[in-house]
């Protein structure tokens, strides 16, 4: 039996850990009355997203519900297939890697989802659940060694005595305990990249900070990079070094987290930040109120996706979709009205 995969033998480690170019996900809109002349209409869930993520980096994704951030996470781990675009790890296409070496892909990439109660098979013990990925990837010389690996992981996550947790079933544990185990299990294969989607939003406030801190300690120990998806700006500020703001399937602003939070440039980012309580207790922000709901994602018009709700939109915003442009401070902003280019 082998140990963990040595990624340096498979990839060019000098290239970015993750590179996403022009990623798009369309879903057919299935309604007998809604067919365009050129064919069936489509929901644009992710609409041309591009970014890079580097080793040991925590990259945040924020936005309203329905903006496409969770779909983006599923695309990156190939739970769903992109309609267009490229996803590469260390310069290797994830599609190619899954076809030629799926074992390496699943060791490289892991995930933690929002609802811990949906993560585990209810009729298996925690021990069986945690040992399964170790068996699938031939890690450990024996059942006893694999059990010890799981015990060490549970101890590291503060679930003590670890042996008692291994014999229990998911329904016997709290949501916080299950989410801890979900995180610990995802780290057993020592992945280089972890997608974390709203990991504490369903948990009691009293346990959220402990679970976030456990996650941050684990990824620092194992040099794992994270795409951290959340609607909670205060959590994103706490965990991430860079952040991308999504609206209607598009990234509208991206850059250093503190820079964007303290000086948002895109009007939508300004709305998000102004309405977020508890970012800085000593800093007073006047909430920006906007009218209406986000436009339909079904075959959107070639305009700024935020134009219909924007408090400073001009004619050009309704005619042309802005590209992400680099600003003097290094951030990227997709807004016709922001002129401070490098």
Pick the range with the lowest mean pLDDT from 135-139, 162-166, 214-218, 288-292: 288-292
Question: What does the pLDDT average to over 106-115?
Answer: 93
76, 159, 165, 242 from 194: Cα distances, Å: 10, 21, 24, 15
> Reading across the β-sheet that carries 84-89, which strands appear in turn?
42-53, 18-28, 84-89, 92-93
Burial-class residue 3 by CB neighbours within 10 Å (0-12, 13-18, 19+): exposed
What 3-state class would DSSP assign to 23?
A: strand
Please state the pTM of the whole predicted model.
0.92
Q: Percentage of residues in the chain with pLDDT exceeding 70?
A: 93
Q: Residue 263: pLDDT above 90? A: yes
Q: How would residue 38 be classed by pLDDT, with cut points 50, 70 and 90?
A: low
Pick the range with the lowest mean pLDDT from 98-102, 121-125, 264-268, 287-291: 287-291
Pick the range with the lowest mean pLDDT from 29-33, 194-198, 261-265, 300-304: 29-33
> 263, 256, 267: which is closest to 280 by C-alpha?
263
Q: How would residue 37 be classed by pLDDT, with cut points 50, 70 and 90?
A: very low
Listing DSSP states for 185-241 in one string gives: HHTTT--SEEEEESTTTTS-HHHHHHHHHHHHHHHHHHT-EEEEE-S-HHHHHHH-S
Distance from C-alpha of 79 to C-alpha of 71, rounded to nearest angstrom? 9
Distance from C-alpha of 90 to C-alpha of 99, rounded to nearest angstrom? 16
Q: How would residue 9 be classed by pLDDT, with cut points 50, 70 and 90?
A: confident
């Amino acid at each position: 039996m082998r140990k963990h995969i040595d990624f340096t033998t498979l990839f060019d480690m000098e290239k970015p850990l993750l590179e996403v170019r022009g990623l798009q996900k369309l879903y057919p809109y299935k309604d007998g009355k809604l067919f365009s002349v050129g064919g069936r209409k489509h929901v644009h869930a992710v609409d041309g997203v591009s970014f890079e993520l580097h080793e040991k980096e925590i990259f945040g994704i924020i936005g309203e519900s329905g903006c496409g951030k969770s779909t983006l996470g599923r695309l990156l781990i190939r739970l769903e297939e992109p309609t267009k675009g490229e996803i590469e790890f260390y310069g290797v296409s994830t599609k190619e890697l899954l076809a030629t070496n799926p074992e390496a892909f699943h060791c490289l990439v892991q995930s933690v989802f929002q609802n811990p109660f949906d993560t585990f098979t209810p009729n298996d013990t925690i021990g069986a659940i945690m040992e399964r990925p170790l068996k699938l990837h031939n890690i450990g010389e024996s059942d006893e060694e694999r059990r010890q690996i799981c015990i060490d992981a549970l101890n590291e996550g503060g679930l003590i005595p670890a042996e008692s947790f291994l014999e229990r079933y998911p329904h016997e544990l709290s949501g916080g305990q299950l989410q801890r185990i979900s995180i610990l299990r995802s780290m057993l294969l020592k992945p280089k990249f972890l997608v974390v989607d709203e990991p504490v939003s369903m948990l009691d406030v009293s346990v959220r900070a402990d679970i976030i801190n456990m996650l941050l300690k684990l990824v620092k120990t194992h040099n794992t990079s994270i795409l951290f998806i959340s609607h909670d700006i205060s959590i994103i500020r706490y965990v991430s070094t860079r952040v991308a703001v999504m609206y209607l399937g598009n990234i509208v602003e991206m850059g250093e987290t503190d820079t964007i939070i303290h000086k948002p440039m895109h009007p939508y980012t300004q709305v998000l930040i102004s309405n977020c309580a508890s970012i800085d207790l000593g800093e007073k922000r006047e909430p920006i109120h906007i009218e209406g709901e986000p436009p339909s994602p079904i075959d959107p018009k070639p305009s700024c996706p935020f134009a219909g709700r924007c408090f400073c939109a001009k004619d050009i915003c309704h005619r042309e979709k802005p590209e992400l442009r680099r600003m003097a401070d290094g951030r990227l902003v997709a807004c016709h009205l922001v002129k401070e280019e490098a």
